[in-house]
Chains A and B, each alone.
Chain A
Amino acid sequence: DTGVSQDPRHKITKRGQNVTFRCDPISEHNRLYWYRQTLGQGPEFLTYFQNEAQLEKSRLLSDRFSAERPKGSFSTLEIQRTEQGDSAMYLCASSFGLAEYEQYFGPGTRLTVT
């Protein structure tokens, strides 16, 4: 399968714990995005990388959230000291080249904070 992959697909954690998600984009795609989606809402932008550079970060992303893409390939999203409000689907997407190309989404990681 050559699509965007995310791991894990589901994560249940207790409030206060740290969690880390991984995203592997389509191999030739230089842009990688993280979104968060809650039930009945559209995806909300969190952050975006072009190669290894983090070019934009949403104000939604508090200091507890950090994302990396160290070699310009896979990316990780870490949430520290999780809160119940962090429960959501975390979607990764990738795209290639110029901005008019569509973003391809991965299957998402569903996080439940108890």
Chain B
Amino acid sequence: GQNIDQPTEMTATEGAIVQINCTYQTSGFNGLFWYQQHAGEAPTFLSYNVLDGLEEKGRFSSFLSRSKGYSYLLLKELQMKDSASYLCAVRDITRGSTLGRLYFGRGTQLTVWP
């Protein structure tokens, strides 16, 4: 199966930088996604990594190391509205699976304080 591990909770202050880590173990890795989910709402897409390295998109960046089974999401210039759960998801192609399914971690609940 897939083991996706990320911290349960993190806190930070407005204007700060926070890094949310995600480790995974898969037999057929085919991409890593980060989603943001506000309480009571649907997850929204933030980033996608399939090759090693850093992908930057505005205040958010995501990094991937396939050899280490490791990714992080970096949030800069934190704002109150960034308080949400951040979900790490891995696409794993194994026997019997297809390119469709994602395996999600439990999510990291980030609280941004003023």
Report the bound CA distance from A98 to B31 in whole Å. Answer: 13
> CB of B72 within 8 A of chain A?
no
Contact, CB under 8 Å: B30 / A99: yes
> CB of B54 within 8 A of chain A?
no
**Cβ–Cβ < 8 Å partners of B98 in chain A:** 48, 55-56
**Cβ–Cβ < 8 Å partners of A105 in chain B:** 35, 42-44
Q: A41-B106, A91-B42, A108-B42 are in contact. Are A99 and B100 (CB under 8 A)?
A: yes
Interface size class of chain B, counting residues whose CB lies under 8 Å from the partner chain:
20 to 34
Contact, CB under 8 Å: B106 / A40: yes
Of B4, B43, B89, chain A has the most CB atoms within 10 Å of the CB of: B43
Q: Mark A82-114 against chain B: 1 for CB-CB distance below 8 A, else 0.
A: 000000000100000011101111111000000
Q: Mark B72-114 against chain A: 1 for CB-CB distance below 8 A, else 0.
A: 0000000000000001010100000111111111110000000
User: Which residues in chain A, 10-65, are within 8 Å of chain B measured between CB atoms?
Assistant: 31, 33, 35, 40-45, 48, 50, 55-56, 58
| 10 contacts across the A-B interface (CB closer than 8 A) | A4-B42, A33-B100, A40-B107, A42-B4, A43-B43, A50-B100, A56-B97, A99-B30, A104-B45, A108-B42
